[in-house]
Structure 1
Amino acid sequence: MLKVKVYNQEGADVSEIELNEAVFGIEANNQAIYDMVRLQRASLRQGTHKVKNRTEVRGGGKKPWRQKGTGRARQGSTRSPQWVGGGVVFGPNTNRNYSFKINRKVARLALKSALSTKVADEEFMAINTVSFETPKTKEMVKVLANLNCGKKTLFVFDEICPTVARCAKNIPGVKLLDAKRVNVYDVLNSDKLIMTEAAIKAVEEVLV
């Protein structure tokens, strides 16, 4: 049985919750994690980089010297690729799509592996709830101090409260996700993963 303590936003231990070992207690599959992170990073690439080929570079309309009699190699344009300021051969073109797909089973295995890694490394924390009466950044700062959070903290909620989102949006390194959007890259990119009890149940329902 895999049990962890549940804290409140003041940092006090209030109860315990039993985690599903099929989600939070498996042996991490590093290959699945690698494939999923690579997929997410590739999907973030815009693919809008572009270089000019010899037809697009300005100038070069006049033949630099006559064809024969100079002793030099024949040249038709100063914008040929071998010239400084010339066009680029086989350079990147606009709207290249870097995204690719992996099997759904591999994606699920990668997420379970990432969550299990956080639990095994003691970088996982369960919290009963987070709520504020007024949207003030200092309120979230207090919560982070109470929970001894690092530079990068990921909060996962069943549903994100707008007030909590406003409290956290100006704090560097703090990210909020709902349970439907929890992903491998954000989990691994955090120093501490904090999930509400409702979010834990929601993730387990999907991944079991």
Structure 2
Amino acid sequence: MVNCVVRDWQGKEAGEASLDLKVAKKSTAAALVHRAVVRQLANARQGTACTLTRAEVRGGGRKPYKQKGTGRARQGSIRTPLRPGGGVIFGPKPRSYTVAMNRKERRLALRTALISRASDILVVKGFAPDLEVPRTKEIVAALERWEVPAGSKVLLVLDAPTDVVRRSVRNLEKVKLIAADQLNVFDLLHANVLVLSEEALAKIQEIYGDD
């Protein structure tokens, strides 16, 4: 179990919140989280890179010049990999980069990554209660009130982000907004500060607390 500082929208401390999740053993935690990150990044690859072999390049059916008497090296096709515009040797072809990982391992890795960032978690009570229209300045001012260092990469986790909040955050390069049920290992480790609403914290405890 870890305890996190709770602040209200104005930046004042409003108590503490606890998060109780089962994590991996210390001896295996690093390897497990590493595999989860590798899997996520690998599965995000499209795998659509494609080059043509000499058999697939158009043209080149006729011998460029006669075999002997020119003083040049013999050539049987202008699509040889040795010539510009020719085929590619051992070039990439469409493929799948998918890496398999058991569901229990994925969930354990995510819980472990989240708990490892406990010191960087900030819980907010009543997130943007009066935000009725998109205002990026209001989000920036709130981060300053919460003493989030300028230039920090912030992961903002809400239970059910409204369209107003999404539009207020989307222009902030260093702030990423995700829903509480869409957590992933890479984002948890990539951010410098994790800002969670109280509702999001409860949702995370509900989803991952039973394992």
TM class, shorter-length: 0.7 to 0.9
- In structure 1, the residue matched to 2:75 is 75
Structure 2 unaligned residues grouped into runs of 5+: none
Amino acid across the alignment from 1:203: I
- In structure 2, the residue matched to 1:100 is 99
List aligned pairs for 1:21-170, cutoff 5 A: 21-22=21-22, 27=26, 29-68=29-68, 74-94=74-94, 96-119=95-118, 122-131=119-128, 132-150=131-149, 151-170=152-171
Structure 1 unaligned residues grouped into runs of 5+: none
- Over the aligned positions, Cα root-mean-square deviation in angstroms equals 2.3
Amino acid across the alignment from 2:51: V
Give TM-score scaled by structure 2 length. Answer: 0.86
Give TM-score scaled by structure 1 length. Answer: 0.87
Structure 2 vs 1, CA of residues 26 and 9 (structure 1 numbering), >3 Å: closer, same or farther?
Answer: farther
Amino acid across the alignment from 2:124: I
- In structure 1, the residue matched to 2:189 is 188
Structure 2 vs 1, CA of residues 26 and 136 (structure 1 numbering), >3 Å: closer, same or farther?
Answer: farther
Structure 2 distance, partners of 1:167, 1:26, is: 40
Asked if the contact 1:29/1:109 (under 8 Å) is kept, the reply is no
Deviates further, 8-17 or 182-191? 8-17
Asked if the contact 1:26/1:113 (under 8 Å) is kept, the reply is no
Asked if the contact 1:3/1:19 (under 8 Å) is kept, the reply is yes
Q: How far apart are 1:26 and its partner, in Å?
A: 7.1
Structure 2 vs 1, CA of residues 138 and 179 (structure 1 numbering), >3 Å: closer, same or farther?
Answer: same
Structure 1 distance, partners of 2:55, 2:116, is: 53
Structure 2 distance, partners of 1:64, 1:165, is: 61
